[in-house]
Structure 1
Amino acid sequence: MTLINSFDINFLADQIEHYGTQELTDRELLFCVCCSAFSKRDATTITGKFFSQYEDLEQMQYLTDQEIRDLLPENQKNWFFEVLSEFAQRFEKRPSLALGTVYSSKKIGEYMSQMYGCAKQEHLVGIYLDTKSQVLLQKSIFKGTLNSATVHPREIFKEAVKCSAARFMVVHNHPSGNVTPSKNDLALTDRLLECGEMLGITLLDHIIVGDNSYLSMREEELIA
């Protein structure tokens, strides 16, 4: 994404839709967040003040009450950065897959439903395990429309080889909320089973998640 000097929230929204939030600069990200509580003009002023004094967003956690008041126009909404800080702290405490832990398909399905069930784009995540089925790595591999043309087994197995995984699961979401496997889902599962057999890296499960539900292909006996 190209850095812009004069922020335009509509332009940024288009860029996010096409390239994702991960492509936003710290400056653009702060501007978007400030627009939720302030006018575009005030959001631009706050963003400019912050980055004229600090290098990156990490330093926001160290701001004093007075420094926060100095950033805001006419002492408006002094609670704003306090709320942001509290949100960030709680987000860091969200449930996550702990490395070295064994999880059932049910636990992973429930966790991934919280993480990706409401996403508007499809995501495919690999969960890589050792010989004792302990988690070695959780890796986001694809984002967008998932089909046989975009999801190639080599990208999934590349991560498995990197971390010396003996087994793995793949999880992806259906933005529609319907967790019924599509023909593409079943075809991908078959390809991963075949490739895994050749490489000696076993596919334990392919889990599909929706906003409040999940489907495990192993539980449904779609994977023997």
Structure 2
Amino acid sequence: MSIADWPEDDRPREKLLTRGANALTDAELLAIFLRTGTKGKSALDLATDLLNEFGDLRSLLSASQTRFCEAKGLGPAKFVQLQACLELSRRYLKHCMQRGTVIEHSQDVQNYLISELGGRLDEVFGCLFLDNKNRVIRFEELFQGTLDSANVYPRVVARRALELNAAAIILTHNHPSGVAEPSRADIAMTHTLQKALQLLNIRVLDHLIIGDGYAISLAERQLLVPK
């Protein structure tokens, strides 16, 4: 049975229009991107097979051109289309964090930082610098380390915050392993930075640890030094 023969509420496109994109599974979203299936398979069947073949959505979307095009039902045209979609998403998220943007929703910041740091093979530490009205000044990567650690120097963070006249900071770093669970070292480093920046009246609003497609907020975990 083709997707056209399904009940309307079960079709991915109609489901997206009536219930929103968040209601769709990875396979349903991928089916909309693919548009068509292959002989004997609907787009949703093909999407399900591809997710099983690659392991998950991230592995599929980050596959090399050669690996992507080798998969049945894909090819150079779909690879180009996918890369354009991914770049549009990155530019949209970057635009949401442009200078002067007021930070109103923590999820917007998380989505942006996931796009910037997610999937990196080395550990990167950065700061989102904000003014006294929580408007974005800029995001900068300040330190890079090995697969296991990055050396973070409070004086460097403090100096850059003063240079940019920042009143608040959101700290962030990624875990190349893909697991964003904070370590004791992560928490200790956060507290050290908080205490150093408090002396300069610069607030640390959060420390976001970026994993494989998600982020963990130390503020939400109540792991920051109490004000």
Relative to the length of structure 1, the TM-score reads 0.57
Shift in Å at residue 92 of structure 1?
7.6
Post-superposition CA distance 1:145-190 (Å, at most 9, x none): 3758x21011111110011111111111111111111121111111
Does the Cα contact within 8 Å between 2:122 and 2:176 map onto a contact in 1?
yes
Shift in Å at residue 102 of structure 1?
2.0
Structure 1 outlier segments of 4+, above 4 Å: 86-92
Q: Which residue does the alignment assign to 1:156?
A: 157
Shift in Å at residue 105 of structure 1?
2.7
Instruction: Write the mapping of 1:70-149 to structure 2, written as runs, cut at 5 A.
Output: 90=88, 93-96=91-94, 97-103=97-103, 104-145=105-146, 147=149
Does the Cα contact within 8 Å between 1:100 and 1:136 map onto a contact in 2?
yes
Q: Which runs of 5+ in 2 are unaligned?
A: 1-64, 67-75
Post-superposition CA distance 1:68-122 (Å, at most 9, x none): xxxxxxxxxxx9xxx6xx9598588342112111223322112111221111111
Shift in Å at residue 124 of structure 1?
0.9
Q: Which residue does the alignment assign to 2:208?
A: 207
1:166 counterpart letter in structure 2 = A
Does the Cα contact within 8 Å between 1:114 and 1:211 map onto a contact in 2?
no
Q: Distance in 1 between matches of 2:145 and 2:192?
A: 20
Does the Cα contact within 8 Å between 1:105 and 1:216 map onto a contact in 2?
no
Secondary structure of 2:98's partner? coil
Does the Cα contact within 8 Å between 1:129 and 1:165 map onto a contact in 2?
yes
**Identity within the alignment, %:** 31
Q: Which has the higher contact order (CA 8 A, sep 6+)?
A: 1
Does the Cα contact within 8 Å between 2:132 and 2:168 map onto a contact in 1?
yes
Q: Distance in 2 between matches of 1:89 and 1:147?
A: 28
Q: Would the alpha carbon gap of residues 175 and 89 (structure 1) be closer, same or farther in structure 2, given more than 3 Å must change?
A: closer
Q: Distance in 2 between matches of 1:177 and 1:171?
A: 14
Q: Distance in 2 between matches of 1:99 and 1:179?
A: 27
Does the Cα contact within 8 Å between 1:129 and 1:166 map onto a contact in 2?
yes
Does the Cα contact within 8 Å between 1:147 and 1:184 map onto a contact in 2?
no
Post-superposition CA distance 1:24-45 (Å, at most 9, x none): xxxxxxxxxxxx89xxxxxxxx
Shift in Å at residue 192 of structure 1?
0.9
Relative to the length of structure 2, the TM-score reads 0.56
User: What is the number of residues matched between the two proteins?
Assistant: 144
Post-superposition CA distance 1:27-67 (Å, at most 9, x none): xxxxxxxxx89xxxxxxxxxxxxxxxxxxxxxxxxxxxxxx
1:100 counterpart letter in structure 2 = G
Q: Which runs of 5+ in 1 are unaligned?
A: 1-35, 38-78
1:120 counterpart letter in structure 2 = L
Shift in Å at residue 213 of structure 1?
0.9
Instruction: Write the mapping of 1:46-85 to structure 2, written as runs, cut at 5 A.
Output: none
2:177 counterpart letter in structure 1 = S
Q: Which residue does the alignment assign to 2:38?
A: none
Does the Cα contact within 8 Å between 2:98 and 2:138 map onto a contact in 1?
no
